[in-house]
Amino acid sequence: MKTTVKLRVKKLADGNGSYYLDWFQNGKRHYEYLKIYTVLSDRPTKEEREANKESLKLAQQIRNQRENQLIASPNGITPAHKRKQSVLAYCEAQATTKVSMQVVDHLKEYMPNKSLQMQEVKREFVQGFADYLASNLHGNTANAYFSKFRSFIKRAITESIVASDTLLDIEAPEKQETIVSFLTTDEIARIAQSSLNPKVKTVFLFSCFCGMRYSDIKNLTWGNITEDFRLKFSQQKTQTKNGKQTGVTYLPMNPQAIALLGERKADDYKVFSVPTQQACDKALKNIATKLELKKTLHFHIARHSFGVILLESGVDIYKVSKLLGHKSVQTTIKHYANITDKGAREAIDSFPEIKI
């Protein structure tokens, strides 16, 4: 394959010249106009000759860089429009999930210069965003968001848009140990037996009995519930930014969850009339106060309680992972593996006595 990048000059209407590059890549001819100019004159002045020398030197340096990229990179030379693409536009193009879109939202808050180009990204910019996330978000969330942003930059490095050392020695937001809060069966029973805020109580208990997230319960329709009472839904958290389903979860329902459903309606009807997240959080806080529960009630504690109760009841973690709709059992292990010592205690108790 011919790898020479040629430096050429295009004569302009004003009689001057404009440097541009010309090369073949993947069977196609490509051009890059450098916006570097030279005076085309039979009798240039001394100043013009000096300026022409500097222009030629700079143009040749860029030509050498592009040729090295063409030789070294499997993708060849990155088109100029990509190198000059704004950081926000580049990252938005890669943001295919709701989480990655949230990363871009934080990037917009962090960036003082919204027009910053990808080719201008340096280590200081990346470290600055890592520090911003660490200062404004919970440790694990900050770490997860920065990991997604780092994947954007890694791609830019692969495409030879930013320098290969851009991520060198970057200090990511520190990851914290996840402490899962959950309710016991007695605490759930006390909530169920109370007469406080029936609407919020119903959807909260439904989450305790099936492990669904607030967003999924809010959007749950009768079309998502089969005749044999299995939940069929695509988890809101794992949908793409266009709402495309990334995986459908089928979840069998226990009798206590079924009892909360009420009378079946048409498929497009919502199963529950769910208040806003803010209203639910306020109501749950009030329920905890009235029942003197020394735990912060929120929807995710219901989901955690579902997972922990299953583990405490002897269900293996792989089944629990599937029932929670986790994409990977590693997610379940990370959050729940150390939450109970029941299995470990039973294993230790089963160790045979050895005479010594």
Give a three-class secondary structure readout of the chain.
CCCCCEEEEEECCCCCEEEEEEEEECCEEEEEEEEEEECCCCCCCHHHHHHHHHHHHHHHHHHHHHHHHHHHCCCCCCCHHHHCCEHHHHHHHHCCEHHHHHHHHHHHHHCCCCCCEHHHCCHHHHHHHHHHHHHHCCHHHHHHHHHHHHHHHHHHHHCCCCCCCCCCCCCCCCCCCCCCCCCCHHHHHHHHHCCCCHHHHHHHHHHHHHCCCHHHHHCCEHHHECCCCEEEEECHHHCECCCCCCCEEEEECCHHHHCCCCCCCCCCCECCCCCCHHHHHHHHHHHHHHCCCCCCCCHHHHHHHHHHHHHHCCCCHHHHHHHHCCCCHHHHHHHHCCCCCHHHHHHHHCCCCCCC
Tell me whether residue 352 is in a domain: no
The pLDDT value recorded for residue 190 is: 94
The pLDDT value recorded for residue 128 is: 94
Domain harbouring 330, CATH code: 1.10.443.10
Do the strands 230-234 and 28-38 form a parallel or antiparallel pair, or are they unpaired? unpaired
Do the strands 6-11 and 248-252 form a parallel or antiparallel pair, or are they unpaired? unpaired
Per-residue pLDDT of 125-168, as tens digits, reads 999 999 999 998 877 889 999 999 999 999 888 777 888 789 99
The answer on 230 and 330 residing in a single domain is yes
The answer on 339 and 191 residing in a single domain is yes
The answer on 191 and 151 residing in a single domain is no
In the chain, which residues have pLDDT < 70?
1-3, 72-83, 177-179, 234-248, 337-353, 355
The answer on 16 and 59 residing in a single domain is yes
Tell me whether residue 351 is in a domain: no
The answer on 339 and 212 residing in a single domain is yes
For residue 276, count other CB atoms closer than 10 A to its CB.
Answer: 10
Tokens standing for residue 300: 């995710």
The answer on 262 and 223 residing in a single domain is yes
The answer on 224 and 98 residing in a single domain is no
φ, ψ of residue 322 in degrees (nearest 5): -65, -40
The answer on 88 and 20 residing in a single domain is no
* Of the residues 53, 77, 101, the one at which a domain ends: 77
Q: How many domains does the chain have?
A: 3
Dihedral class, residue 149 (left if φ above 0, else alpha if ψ from -120 to 50, else beta): alpha
Task: Tell me which residue range forms the domain holding 52.
Answer: 6-77
Tell me whether residue 163 is in a domain: no
The answer on 198 and 118 residing in a single domain is no
The pLDDT value recorded for residue 72 is: 67
For residue 233, count other CB atoms closer than 10 A to its CB.
Answer: 20
End-to-end CA separation in angstroms for the chain: 76
Q: Which residue has the tokens 């999924």?
A: 216
Contact 107, 101 (CB under 8 A): no
The pLDDT value recorded for residue 201 is: 94
